[in-house]
Structure 1
Amino acid sequence: MKNISISFPGVKALSNVDFQTAAGTAHALIGANGAGKSTLMKILAGAYTHYEGEIWMEGREVHIRSPKEAKDYGIQVVYQEVDTALIPSLTVGENIMLDRMVHDMKGKWLVRWNELHKEAQTVMERMNIGIPSRKAVKELTLAEKQMVLIARAVSRQCRILVLDEPTAPLSHSETEQLFMLVRKLKEEGVSVIFISHRLPELYEICDEITIMRDGQHIITDQIVNLEQGSVVEHMLGTKMEQQFPKTEKSVGEVVFEARGIVDPGKVNHVDLQIRKGEIVGLAGLVGAGKTELCRALFGASATATGDILLNGRKLRLSSPHAAVQQGIALVPEERRREGVFVEEAVSANLTATVLSRFTAWGSWLSSSKEKQAAQEMIDSLGIKTPNEKARVRNLSGGNQQKVAIGKWLLADADVYIFDEPTKGVDVGAKRDIFKLVHELAERGKCVLYATSELSEIIGITDRVYVMYDGAVIQELETSSTDEEEILLYCTGGGLT
């Protein structure tokens, strides 16, 4: 890709960017949120057509102006937000073979369903994916959906495979399985472009690295030639600051308490407490039940039972709306599907939970007051957006996450539940989120911080509950433990 530039209303996303990769290699493409890496790959995938510059493959210029043209050249992309790319009502096999059904069946009237599922099953067996081809996608876990998307990508002739944050929803064993596939694809001559904010993974799987910043190409080199600290400095343009904030705060009495929380098949009799001004970690590997517990505490599971108390008063959480009304906020793991309205403006998202503040007589919305509140939150959180009217879908992942958090800051809840808040977020935005979480605790709020990133548990929490197989199996004081001990319990070790 040569001299690639592209602009959107109010912002120049890419400026004369060069990028190249070779067959049979894994190439890391990284940068802070908003650096332009996803935009560059969307141009390669034919999603954006109004760009300037040239794309060359094997010594000749190609013209890619649609996703179909990109796929015809063997360019496949697996995007980070898996739920927007799959059809939940269809089976696994139908989703894997979807491109084939759409593009290769013109003029044909019959689908040979047995052959379709047999071929899909063959693709998955090649990848060591143990998912039945006839199972509905809506019944899959997030990690399983990710593997189905990758299976779809490699089911056709694939010369360039772009993986955008592919390991974010995967467990350690699933990540290893993915890396085995990447190595196999490299042996077959496929070029794999790997977008990730997890630097240790890049060093494990990638041969080369390209770093972008503010829509420009910064450096390309063999990854072994750059230390991780140097990579971060290239990403941010400055020396890396202390990642986790060091602040003094006082912890008070128990404010939030959950007793005997059960959600059949998901959460098994969980008890927990959070004190005023305390950040409590909820640690566990993918599939441990963290997300399911967070949803139960937010009134988002119709099958969950148990008692939830706030300031000693038992709450009736029949729905998320009831939870919000009683002072509980949830920043969900799947921000695009559950945390923001992607087609709405930044201002509409930030003020969604407190619209009554900006309305008169119950129906008239004061746009000037809404705009002022939104702009103050944009400035406070450092949300990178052309203006408050920009659609959330056009923001980077880290800035979308800040919007998802910002709407609850305006709501001023008593209990804040964060479910994997830094998934798919760069080191700079992570530091901003950590600071926000600490500021909430300093204001006396209760914070439940659920994550599979053990370094974050150690760096930000006061106390931690460890989940395994849907149950809390250990409670630890963060200052008296380390990542190794937490990981031991996360994997079911140390149980008697």
Structure 2
Amino acid sequence: MEEGKIRKLEMKDISIEFPGVKALSNVDFILDTGSVHALIGANGAGKSTLMKILAGAYDHYTGDILIDNNMKEIRTPKDAKELGIGIVYQEVDTALIPYLSVAENIMLDVIVNEMKGEHFINWTSIHAEARKVLERLSIKIDTRKLVQDLTLAHKQMVLIARAIAEESKYLILDEPTAPLSNTETQDLFNVVKDLAYNHNVGVVFISHRLPEIFEICQEITILKDGQLVTRRGLEGLTPNQVVELMLGRKFEESYKKNDAPIGEKIFEVKDLSEKEGAVKKINLYVRAGETIGIAGLVGAGKTELCKTIFGGMPIEGGEILLNGKPLNIKTPYHAVKQGIALVPEERRKEGVLVEEPVYSNLTAACLSSFCGLLDFLKPHDEYKASRKMIDELGIKTPSEKQKVAYLSGGNQQKVAVGKWLMADADIYIFDEPTKGVDVGAKRDIFELIGRLAHMGKGIIYASCEFSEILGISDRTYVMYDGEIAKELVTAETNEEELLYFSTGGK
């Protein structure tokens, strides 16, 4: 293909159904090489589904796909790859092979092709080529390191590196910046711009972060409820107009904090350290009805702190107390039994059972309350309680028996939260709960946290989105390098101060 020649990819009248759900209805989409095109919509709008069709993940769709007005058949990932279409999925762990090295994951296609040809694999060359691709991303990762030992941010970069190594002419990025720090995000933007403008790649950029879209994209396609709302240039559009097109109604973007009465101290962590050193000498407390923020950049130790409190990482020393009583937490089982709930950052991997129905997920943390004689489960009671929770949380699903895998990211997150509401915990820990959810679902989650606070629960809210911390918390602990760098009264601070302390400021 000529390097500078613009090629047009078109999807026409694309429709697809899943059990009980019409996911897309006669959707059109156009992507030119040499451009960055935003694809957005509320959770459940059909963005990821449309792109999975383009990447060959779903073969039962109807409609046409054309490149330069020539009809193309894409029914498998192999079909998509042969046409130069690459995708970086939001769920990075499902797309990587954890027990292989960084180089093996990046250069997977080359290795497979050499094995098919019964050639000896030149491992020195494989690692050298992988390092070249990583250098383009300005990322320093040992190519011999196993993927299972990488951070979430580095796993994301390995996936992007693989797409670059495969020389994709159309690259789909599904929420690529969700696990990345501000610096890593800017590095990614530089790579995307380089691919689009210097290497004539067409990039589809799916994100709920509107400032990113306005920074890096030229055109936008908006979907709502599986249908096309508009396709147009971004020039002349405002973020508020984009939100209104996404939701189909006016939307007040800022969250008005629902101030709950704050009571006595109910939860405390004293000198808590994790065995591997990711969390060091942490001291914090939570009062009844209070929401505390755990602010920090990617890699600060927020997730490790949440997991250590919940029994997911081994404790080296320190105490965890609930209502003044020391807790013995060695595993998540002990945490749940003693009234602590965690909504984890990686919801599909750790927060929900994607291949199980909604009702099984919602009742998973309190199954004993649905057991009768001889501990047999009573499905009718499970269905009834699940339907009530689905209505309360506004979970969009055709029924409580729908597989969680078929729900949008925002609705999966609501299921992950609903599970703990049914279990009625005392302390709720939220780790990056709005990652990959739209502004409407984000507001729903904030309102839910407000309801929990009014019930006298203690809330721990960990996030690298400082605007969220400022909007929802009463006090904020800023983390840096596994330690609490500063404790602040949220109403008396701002984003600049949070950033200062989160970058090591004293």
TM, length-normalised to structure 2: 0.96
Aligned residue in 2 for 1:278:
290
Aligned residue in 2 for 1:89:
99
**Quick check: 18-27 or 95-104, which moved more?**
95-104
* Paired amino acid for 1:259: K
Aligned residue in 2 for 1:387:
399
Distance in 2, matches of 1:428 and 1:278, equals: 24
Aligned residue in 1 for 2:124:
114
User: For 2:348, which of 330, 336, 347 is the aligned residue?
Assistant: 336
Task: Please tell me whether the aligned partners of residues 255 and 276 of structure 1 are also in contact (alpha carbons under 8 angstroms).
Answer: yes
User: For 1:50, which of 43, 60, 63 is the aligned residue?
Assistant: 60
Task: Please tell me whether the aligned partners of residues 34 and 215 of structure 1 are also in contact (alpha carbons under 8 angstroms).
Answer: yes
Aligned residue in 1 for 2:216:
205
Aligned residue in 1 for 2:459:
447
Aligned residue in 1 for 2:310:
298
Aligned residue in 2 for 1:313:
325
Distance in 2, matches of 1:90 and 1:161, equals: 24
Question: Does residue 175 of the first structure (1) align with residue 192 of the second (2)?
Answer: no
Question: Does residue 360 of the first structure (1) align with residue 372 of the second (2)?
Answer: yes
Task: Please tell me whether the aligned partners of residues 76 and 158 of structure 1 are also in contact (alpha carbons under 8 angstroms).
Answer: yes
Distance in 1, matches of 2:22 and 2:180, equals: 33
* Paired amino acid for 1:88: P
Task: Please tell me whether the aligned partners of residues 33 and 398 of structure 1 are also in contact (alpha carbons under 8 angstroms).
Answer: yes
Deviation at 1:101, TM superposition (A): 2.4
Question: Does residue 252 of the first structure (1) align with residue 252 of the second (2)?
Answer: no
* Paired amino acid for 2:172: V
Aligned residue in 1 for 2:248:
237
Deviation at 1:55, TM superposition (A): 0.5
* Paired amino acid for 1:421: P
User: For 1:434, which of 446, 458, 465 is the aligned residue?
Assistant: 446
1:186-217 CA distances to partner (integer Å, 9 max, x unpaired)? 12100000000000011111111111100011
Question: Does residue 371 of the first structure (1) align with residue 386 of the second (2)?
Answer: no
Aligned residue in 1 for 2:156:
146
Aligned residue in 2 for 1:473:
485
Deviation at 1:124, TM superposition (A): 1.3
Closer, same or farther in 2 for the Cα pair 1:247/1:222, shift >3 Å?
same
Deviation at 1:362, TM superposition (A): 4.3
User: For 2:13, which of 3, 15, 26 is the aligned residue?
Assistant: 3
Distance in 2, matches of 1:246 and 1:313, equals: 31
Q: Secondary structure at the match of 1:221?
A: strand
Distance in 1, matches of 2:133 and 2:287, equals: 50
1:75-129 CA distances to partner (integer Å, 9 max, x unpaired)? 0000011111111111000011112323453241532222211221121122222
Distance in 1, matches of 2:113 and 2:243, equals: 42
Aligned residue in 1 for 2:6:
none
Task: Please tell me whether the aligned partners of residues 31 and 211 of structure 1 are also in contact (alpha carbons under 8 angstroms).
Answer: yes
Distance in 1, matches of 2:259 and 2:177, equals: 34
Task: Please tell me whether the aligned partners of residues 245 and 434 of structure 1 are also in contact (alpha carbons under 8 angstroms).
Answer: no
Aligned residue in 1 for 2:8:
none
Deviation at 1:244, TM superposition (A): 1.5
Question: Does residue 40 of the first structure (1) align with residue 50 of the second (2)?
Answer: yes
Task: Please tell me whether the aligned partners of residues 114 and 121 of structure 2 are also in contact (alpha carbons under 8 angstroms).
Answer: no
Q: Secondary structure at the match of 2:52?
A: helix
Closer, same or farther in 2 for the Cα pair 1:193/1:478, shift >3 Å?
same
Q: Secondary structure at the match of 1:225?
A: coil
* Paired amino acid for 1:123: V
Q: Secondary structure at the match of 1:18?
A: strand
* Paired amino acid for 1:328: I
Distance in 1, matches of 2:146 and 2:206, equals: 28
Question: Does residue 76 of the first structure (1) align with residue 92 of the second (2)?
Answer: no
Distance in 2, matches of 1:457 and 1:118, equals: 42
* Paired amino acid for 1:200: P
1:144-192 CA distances to partner (integer Å, 9 max, x unpaired)? 1100000001101211000000000000110011001001101210000
Q: Secondary structure at the match of 1:487?
A: helix
Deviation at 1:339, TM superposition (A): 0.4
Aligned residue in 2 for 1:26:
36
- Could you tell me which runs of 5 or more consecutive residues in structure 2 were left unpaired when the two chains were aligned: 1-10
Q: Secondary structure at the match of 1:433?
A: helix
Question: Does residue 162 of the first structure (1) align with residue 179 of the second (2)?
Answer: no
Deviation at 1:61, TM superposition (A): 1.1
Task: Please tell me whether the aligned partners of residues 296 and 304 of structure 1 are also in contact (alpha carbons under 8 angstroms).
Answer: no
Distance in 1, matches of 2:137 and 2:332, equals: 39
Runs of 4+ off more than 3 Å: none
Aligned residue in 1 for 2:139:
129
Aligned residue in 2 for 1:228:
239
Task: Please tell me whether the aligned partners of residues 181 and 298 of structure 2 are also in contact (alpha carbons under 8 angstroms).
Answer: yes
Task: Please tell me whether the aligned partners of residues 38 and 205 of structure 2 are also in contact (alpha carbons under 8 angstroms).
Answer: yes
Distance in 2, matches of 1:88 and 1:303, equals: 25
User: For 2:194, which of 184, 188, 193 is the aligned residue?
Assistant: 184
Q: Secondary structure at the match of 2:115?
A: coil
Aligned alpha-carbon RMSD (Å): 1.1
User: For 2:334, which of 322, 338, 343 is the aligned residue?
Assistant: 322
Aligned residue in 1 for 2:418:
406
- Could you tell me which runs of 5 or more consecutive residues in structure 1 were left unpaired when the two chains were aligned: none
* Paired amino acid for 1:101: I
Task: Please tell me whether the aligned partners of residues 253 and 439 of structure 2 are also in contact (alpha carbons under 8 angstroms).
Answer: no
Aligned residue in 2 for 1:217:
228
Deviation at 1:483, TM superposition (A): 1.3
Deviation at 1:268, TM superposition (A): 1.4
Aligned residue in 1 for 2:115:
105
Distance in 1, matches of 2:83 and 2:374, equals: 55
* Paired amino acid for 2:350: E
Distance in 1, matches of 2:441 and 2:30, equals: 27
Deviation at 1:58, TM superposition (A): 1.7
Closer, same or farther in 2 for the Cα pair 1:103/1:399, shift >3 Å?
farther
Q: Secondary structure at the match of 1:299?
A: coil
* Paired amino acid for 1:381: L
Task: Please tell me whether the aligned partners of residues 91 and 136 of structure 1 are also in contact (alpha carbons under 8 angstroms).
Answer: yes
Deviation at 1:245, TM superposition (A): 3.7
Distance in 2, matches of 1:266 and 1:378, equals: 37
Q: Secondary structure at the match of 1:21?
A: strand
Q: Secondary structure at the match of 1:365?
A: coil
Q: Secondary structure at the match of 1:229?
A: helix
Distance in 2, matches of 1:104 and 1:59, equals: 34
**Quick check: 92-101 or 327-336, which moved more?**
92-101
**Quick check: 289-298 or 121-130, which moved more?**
121-130
Closer, same or farther in 2 for the Cα pair 1:306/1:228, shift >3 Å?
same
Question: Does residue 12 of the first structure (1) align with residue 33 of the second (2)?
Answer: no
* Paired amino acid for 1:324: V
Distance in 1, matches of 2:119 and 2:369, equals: 56
